[in-house]
Amino acid sequence: MKWHVRMTLQKRAMAEFLGTYWLVFGGCGSAVLAAAFPQVGIGLLGVSLAFGLTVLTMAYAIGHISGCHLNPAVSIGLAVGKRFPMGEVPMYILAQVLGGIAGAGTLLVIASGKAGFDINGGLASNGFDAHSPGGYTMMAGLTAEVVLTFFFLLIIMGATDKRAPGGFAPIAIGLGLTLIHLIGIPVTNLSVNPARSTGPAVFVGGWALEQLWLFWVAPIVGAALAAVVYNVVAEEEPTGKAKGVGA
């Protein structure tokens, strides 16, 4: 993350606010406004792609400013993996959550402009049991969120590794987010991002806020585990020792 050293924390936090706003407004907006639109509904594939495109576009727009985390779990995971200062995580998380709430609020203003709109429909909130799109249990949702966040963070750390091909990280990360949405939307509406879950839940209230804990705990656990595992797997072996053995 050397590219944003010269930017102040406040400027980087503002970039995170704008990027997370775009992620929630664009991703959740595609689900609420376009997923089932008559004749041209984009469906599961379209919503999954929309979430991936929000990250892909923002990675190029603000990646050089803030690193384009857009996700408290990503910020925490990168800090655990020693790719990001732990002391800056709280400011990033605050900016991300506020951006998510602002994005969901804008979406609510637009969605409520149509006759028959019902906030109880969820505003693309994440949930389990009765509030899972496919009726999946809490344990299924917890497992899915941990595993999918684990691999999302693994993709991020691998794609941004200094040894990886340069310039392609946003593509890999955006497509990675698309893939995990294709897997996880039926289970929980897919979060892997506490800020994305918090935004809609604030306006839906009730069950969405009651179940919000899972969409903070699971992504953070998955991301932290991925950071530890990646650093173990990707650690380079010393070259001098191998030659000294007589090989």
Provide the percentage of residues in the chain whose pLDDT is more than 70.
Answer: 92
User: Span 134-140, mean pLDDT?
Assistant: 97
Which has more pLDDT, 194 or 3?
194
> Where along the chain do its domains lie?
2-233
For residue 239, the model assigns a pLDDT of: 65
For residue 236, the model assigns a pLDDT of: 78
Task: Please list, residue by residue across 78-106, b when 16 or more beta carbons sit within 10 angstroms of its beta carbon and e when fewer do.
Answer: bbbbebbeeeebeebbebbbbbbbbbbbe
Mean pLDDT, the chain, whole residue set: 92
State CA 138 to chain mean position distance. 20
For residue 237, the model assigns a pLDDT of: 73
For residue 120, the model assigns a pLDDT of: 82
pLDDT tens, position by position, 143-165: 999 999 999 999 999 999 999 98
pLDDT tens, position by position, 28-85: 999 999 987 666 678 999 999 999 999 999 999 999 999 999 999 999 999 999 999 9
Tokens at 110, concatenated:
């637009």
Which residue is listed with tokens 């998955």?
222
For residue 39, the model assigns a pLDDT of: 66
User: Span 72-100, mean pLDDT?
Assistant: 97
**Which CATH fold topology does 2-233 show?**
Glycerol uptake facilitator protein (1.20.1080)
Give, to the nearest 10 degrees, the angle between helix 169-188 and helix 138-159. Answer: 180
pLDDT above 50 (res 242): no
User: Span 114-118, mean pLDDT?
Assistant: 87
Q: Are 208 and 127 in contact (CB under 8 A)?
A: yes
pLDDT above 80 (res 104): yes
For residue 73, the model assigns a pLDDT of: 98
Tokens at 130, concatenated:
């009765």
